[in-house]
Amino acid sequence: MALTASTYGKAQVRVMRLSRDGDHHTPRELSLTVLMKGAFEAAWTRGDNRACVATDSVKNIVNVTAARNLDLDKEAFVRAVASVFLDTYPQVEAVTIEALETRWLRHAFDGQPHGHTFTRDGNGFGYVGLEASREGAVLCSGLRGYTLMKTTQSGWAGFVDDQYRTLPDATDRIAATSMDATWTWTGTPADYAAANARALALMIAVFGTTYSYGVQDSMYRMGRAVLAEIPEIAEIGFAMPNKHYIPINLAPFGLENPGTVFLPTDEPHGQIVATIGRD
């Protein structure tokens, strides 16, 4: 039997490059599949792996290339990754790279683009829920899966320190979440669409422009801001999972990582849920 075709590599290699120019940050997030073709037949036909590049090394090459090329657009970045393979390994004849981009849109407040607050392109779903009976009705509006991020001005510190803790205190970290928010109406606003848009704008403003001591802290203040300005809303509930961006250890490659290259991951994630109502 003949081996007529073969390729191998690494899929779902997630990396975010974060360019920092003072308070002006630019995130570039990709999920890559990198596959190699070349003189690897013996690994299939004879169990001989001597020519093989470990798929873990494929991931490392992506991360190192990211650290060395923070500002490249995605097209130039995948070319840079491919060049590492072709320049380093003579047994690699061709490299196929596919990358999916998570597009982060810079948010603006009062018409001014913000330095480190972003929302995801093609973001979330509007939500409405109604429970109606002959005795009355409860109407809710909200959002599902609305994803937002800020690349600084967030921390998580001072939590329980016991034999199970491995997470260090952090006072400057990336904060990102895919938010479900539901607000319950007790009155009828002049315009539901305008009121819903105002609720979202208030939540983003609190999240993006104030320091966060944790998701719990931001969540509570986001809810208070909505209730303070929109009297027709009785309460607002949140479910805000953490989308983690973990700094990648580049020390084995002789590189520092001053908060510029991250592993995006959302499994497992912290899940923070609360309802904020009126007194």
Q: Which residues are catalytic?
A: 10, 55, 244
Per residue in 164-192, is it b (16+ CB within 10 Å) or e — as a string?
A: eeeeeeeeebbbbbbbbbbbbbeeebeee
Half-sphere exposure of 17 (CA within 13 A, CB side): 18
HEC string for 149-187: EECCCECECCCCCCCCCCCCCECCCCEEEEEEEEEEECC
The encoded tokens of residue 71 equal 């500002």
Question: 56 among the known binding-site residues?
Answer: yes
Do residues 153 and 169 touch, judged by C-beta distance below 8 A?
no
Question: 271 among the known binding-site residues?
Answer: no
Question: 216 among the known binding-site residues?
Answer: yes
Q: What is the DSSP letter of 232?
A: T
The encoded tokens of residue 28 equal 């570039």
Annotated binding-site members for 5-hydroxyisourate: 55-56, 173, 215-216, 242
Instruction: Give the residue numbers of the binding site for urate.
Output: 55-56, 173, 215-216, 242
Annotated binding site for O2: 55, 242
Residues belonging to the binding site are: 55-56, 173, 215-216, 242
